[in-house]
Amino acid sequence: MSTAVIPVEAKPRTTYLNAGQTLKSWLLTLDHKRIGILYLISVTFFFLVGGIYATLIRLELLTPQGDLVSAQTYNKLFTQHGITMVFFFLIPSIPAVFGNFLLPIMIGAKDVAFPRLNLLSWYVFMTGALFASYAMFAGGVDTGWTFYPPYSTNYANTYVIATGLGIFIAGFSSILTGLNFIVTIHTMRAPGMTWFRLPLFVWAQYATSLIQILGTPVLAITLLLVALERTVGIGIFDPRLGGDPVLFQHLFWFYSHPAVYIMVLPSMGVVSEIIATFSRKPIFGYKFVAFSSLAIAIVGFLVWGHHLFTSSQSVYAGMLFSLLSYAVAIPSAIKVFNWTATLYRGSISYDAPMLYALGFIGLFLIGGLTGLFLAALGLDVHVHDTYFVVAHFHYIMVGGALLAYLGAMHYWWPKMTGRLYPEGWARFAALVVFVGFNLTFFPQFILGYLGMPRRYYTYAPEFQLLHVLSTAGASILAVGFILPAIYLLWSLKKGPIAPADPWLATGLEWRTSSPPPPENFERTPIVTWNAYEFRPQEEAEVIGGGKPDASSLTGE
Amino acid sequence: MSEHIVPKKTYYAVFGALMALTAITVFVARFDLPWILNIVVALTIAVTKATLVVLYFMHVRYSSRLTQVVVVAGIFWLVIMLVLTASDYVTRGLLAPVVSISAQ
């Protein structure tokens, strides 16, 4: 590696941020990094919208009576919360934001394989979001995010088709992103960047992309069938016309269960990166962690029937799906064990990204193990459609996916913006999120086990204490989200200038300047090292000189 | 990328086969076959035609192994969806009738 020093007072170098300042230069950009930022702004907006719905839900549930909103409004609130969070935040979050920004840099490429398709995917996403938002403002939808017939097809008088169309359209954006990433990883790796030198984040993105391509079309066609059922009554889900409402559930969950892995696999990739960096150790069992991503993607397609245990699905199919659902715990456990083995005897530092990653491991463990409760045929009958389920999937989606999103945001913030965030505040916020999250959702496990059904706006008075705890936790959680919003925005202007590699991490993204130049690297990097190969002499250079070593690639 | 040039003869032959299979579909539709043969014959013809289109018109026969793997994976996923959904439908009637326990 070169030891050239970047001159501090050099004229402002061209980065992807100052390469064009006009609105047009952003809206017509083909730069994967800028498209990542466009997605970042969009999905963060939808996270805020989904969060407002969540706040109203928690406020309503503060008391056993329905005193804040009507039953009908409450139905719309939890439906809009689910739809917004799942389809317009969680699914695009890590792949479309961090995948877009980082994947080409991590493999040493200048851009994704199809930059125009990449920009198109954002416009398609926004078009879908526009339809869904129209439905939201016109009056919303009250079917639950799952759109189960016969309610969604025959009875609901809310904006089912407009919302469904929004999700249908946004789905194509997901497919385009997946397609782009698969081709990019196959064809655009830098010389020497072999498959087993790829960062585990890239493996995770690859597995996620497979699910996006193989699963999303099924959701699209299923929502189209709901629209056709509502408009012309084709009868595919209507028993009076020879259809079967349970068929909808099969088709819907064929996508929507793997969609959980669309949300959590990229998060696992993020956690692998962070754990390695802040333990200063290569990931224990690299190949096992890499292949476990693929295993989760594949086995994840075989388990959807566990959502149908109480929906008159054949009990024999139930047994099969139960068994297969248990099987998906194996690759998940491989990841958790390998992360903890990586921590063992590591040189651990507790920076904010690491706090989020450690939080992820603990919360994903609880979320995953309670998933096994739900995959058990007998126990599921007891807790099906109760708050136990709500708590379980929030441990996966908030405790897992969202914590990893925040972890990724902090970890790569210096790379994306060229500024360092205030570490003390960030650590404090990470702890607030962890405490707030557990206080919000742990009581819901107990509520569910005691028999409180989900999707009810009133409840028996004996449940109030646990609901109050949950709402209190949600308030703390909200503070934990507002804090990063404030200090990250502050750091954009006032944060200290970030060096190329503030974490002394490995990975090609740390070998280029912060923020990266438009073409990522001045010349194509030649990779001669494995992922997570921490090299002491490099460490000495960076610490001793206090200068990033990216000069060899950015030509500063 | 090297493009494989398919002789026109092949396209005409495939087109002829597709037309012939369509004719067979129409012909067979005139008879009500016993058991489940109606659907078996119809689906066999349909799958044969789809295979011809994918292999020749969509050039999969001349594509790289990777492309072929992608195509096979897509079909395999469809099979997963159909088979596991069928695991519900074909076993729904198999449950032994519930013996009612009358209250004493």
Indicate the burial class of B38 (C-beta count within 10 angstroms; 0-12, 13-18, 19 or more): middle
Statement to judge: residues B35 and B69 lie in one domain: no
pLDDT over 70 at B23, yes or no: yes
Gap between the Cα atoms of A407 and A412, Å rounded: 9
- Looking at residue A5, its pLDDT comes to 53
Chain B CB contacts of A320 below 8 Å: 84, 87
Find residue B45's DSSP bridge partners. none
The CA-based dihedral angle spanning residues A92, A93, A96, A101, taken in that order and rounded to the nearest 10 degrees: 180
The domain of B83 spans 64-90
Gap between the Cα atoms of A296 and A302, Å rounded: 10
Q: In this structure, what token pair is assigned to residue A148? A: 């189960």
Q: Min CA distance, B45 vs chain A (Å)?
A: 24
Are B89 and A314 an interchain contact pair (Cβ–Cβ within 8 Å)?
yes
Which residues in chain A show pLDDT less than 70?
A: 1-11, 536-556
Statement to judge: residues B25 and B70 lie in one domain: no
AA letter at A412: W
Nearest to A316 among B77, B85, B94 (CB): B94
Chain A CB contacts of B71 below 8 Å: none
Are B87 and A320 an interchain contact pair (Cβ–Cβ within 8 Å)?
yes
Statement to judge: residues B51 and B75 lie in one domain: no
Statement to judge: residues B5 and B49 lie in one domain: yes
- Looking at residue A97, its pLDDT comes to 97
A21: number of Cβ within 10 Å: 9
Is residue B32, in this structure, part of any structural domain at all? yes
Are A314 and B92 an interchain contact pair (Cβ–Cβ within 8 Å)?
yes
Q: Please, are residues A50 and A89 in contact by the beta-carbon 8 Å criterion? A: yes
Statement to judge: residues B23 and B52 lie in one domain: yes
- Phi, psi for residue A453 in degrees, rounded to 5: -75, 155
CA-based nearest residue in chain A for residue B66: A186
A123: number of Cβ within 10 Å: 12
CA dihedral (A150, A153, A155, A156) positive or negative: positive
- Looking at residue B5, its pLDDT comes to 83
Statement to judge: residues B32 and B54 lie in one domain: yes
| Cα B31 off chain centre by | 22
Closest among A29, A15, A184, A205 to A116, alpha carbons compared: A29
- Looking at residue A482, its pLDDT comes to 96
Residue appearing with tokens 């990216």: A550
Gap between the Cα atoms of A344 and B31, Å rounded: 72
Are B88 and A314 an interchain contact pair (Cβ–Cβ within 8 Å)?
yes
Give me the total of CB pairs closer than 8 Å, taking one residue from chain A and one from chain B: 45
Gap between the Cα atoms of A337 and A342, Å rounded: 9
Domain segments of chain A: what residues? 31-554
| Cα A84 off chain centre by | 13
Chain A CB contacts of B66 below 8 Å: 186
Residue A419, SS3? strand
CA-based nearest residue in chain B for residue A308: B88
CA dihedral (A238, A242, A243, A244) positive or negative: positive
Gap between the Cα atoms of A350 and A555, Å rounded: 33
Chain A CB contacts of B92 below 8 Å: 312-314
Is residue B103, in this structure, part of any structural domain at all? no
Q: In this structure, what token pair is assigned to residue A441? A: 């959702």
AA letter at A243: G
Are A250 and B74 an interchain contact pair (Cβ–Cβ within 8 Å)?
no
CA-based nearest residue in chain A for residue B85: A250
Statement to judge: residues B36 and B5 lie in one domain: yes
Gap between the Cα atoms of A361 and A288, Å rounded: 17
| Cα A203 off chain centre by | 15
Count of the separate structural domains present in chain B: 2
Find residue A453's DSSP bridge partners. A386
Are A246 and B88 an interchain contact pair (Cβ–Cβ within 8 Å)?
yes
Gap between the Cα atoms of A34 and A56, Å rounded: 34
Statement to judge: residues B40 and B24 lie in one domain: yes
Are B77 and A214 an interchain contact pair (Cβ–Cβ within 8 Å)?
yes
Q: Min CA distance, A235 vs chain B (Å)?
A: 18
Is residue B96, in this structure, part of any structural domain at all? no
- Phi, psi for residue A155 in degrees, rounded to 5: -120, -35
Q: Min CA distance, A250 vs chain B (Å)?
A: 6
CA-based nearest residue in chain A for residue B72: A214
CA-based nearest residue in chain A for residue B76: A214
Residue appearing with tokens 């954006």: A173
Residues in chain B whose Cβ is within 8 Å of chain A: 66, 73-74, 77, 80-81, 84-85, 87-89, 91-92, 94-95
- Looking at residue A556, its pLDDT comes to 42
Please compute the mean of the pLDDT values over residues B43-54 and round it to a whole number.
94
Is residue B12, in this structure, part of any structural domain at all? yes
Nearest to B81 among A218, A314, A315 (CB): A218
pLDDT above 70 as % of chain B: 88
Q: Please, are residues A385 and A461 in contact by the beta-carbon 8 Å criterion? A: no
Q: Min CA distance, A320 vs chain B (Å)?
A: 8
Statement to judge: residues B29 and B68 lie in one domain: no
Q: In this structure, what token pair is assigned to residue A515? A: 């923020």
pLDDT band at B31 (very low <50, low <70, confident <90, very high): confident
Gap between the Cα atoms of A307 and A376, Å rounded: 11
Gap between the Cα atoms of A143 and A550, Å rounded: 52
- Phi, psi for residue A419 in degrees, rounded to 5: -125, 150
CA-based nearest residue in chain B for residue A244: B89
For A429-486, the DSSP string reads HHHHHHHHHHHHHHHHHHHHHHTPBTT-S---GGGHHHHHHHHHHHHHHHHHHHHHHH
Chain A CB contacts of B80 below 8 Å: 301-302
Helices and strands per DSSP (H, E), number in chain B: 3, 0
Nearest to B88 among A214, A302, A305 (CB): A305
Residues 6+ apart with CB under 8 A from A486: none
pLDDT band at B93 (very low <50, low <70, confident <90, very high): confident
For A263-278, the DSSP string reads HHHHHHHHHHHHHHHH
Which of A175, A195, A211, A214 is the best substitution to test chain B (most B C-beta atoms within 10 A)? A214
Which of B1, B71, B84 is the best substitution to test chain A (most A C-beta atoms within 10 A)? B84
Are A316 and B91 an interchain contact pair (Cβ–Cβ within 8 Å)?
yes
Fold category of A31-554 in CATH: Cytochrome C Oxidase; Chain A (1.20.210)
pLDDT tens digits along B83-92 = 999 999 999 8
Statement to judge: residues B53 and B15 lie in one domain: yes
Indicate the burial class of B35 (C-beta count within 10 angstroms; 0-12, 13-18, 19 or more): exposed
AA letter at A230: R
Statement to judge: residues B44 and B4 lie in one domain: yes
Chain B CB contacts of A312 below 8 Å: 92
Are A302 and B80 an interchain contact pair (Cβ–Cβ within 8 Å)?
yes
Which of A313, A322, A328 is the best substitution to test chain B (most B C-beta atoms within 10 A)? A313
Statement to judge: residues B6 and B41 lie in one domain: yes
Chain B CB contacts of A250 below 8 Å: 85, 88
**H/E run at residue A127:** helix A115-138
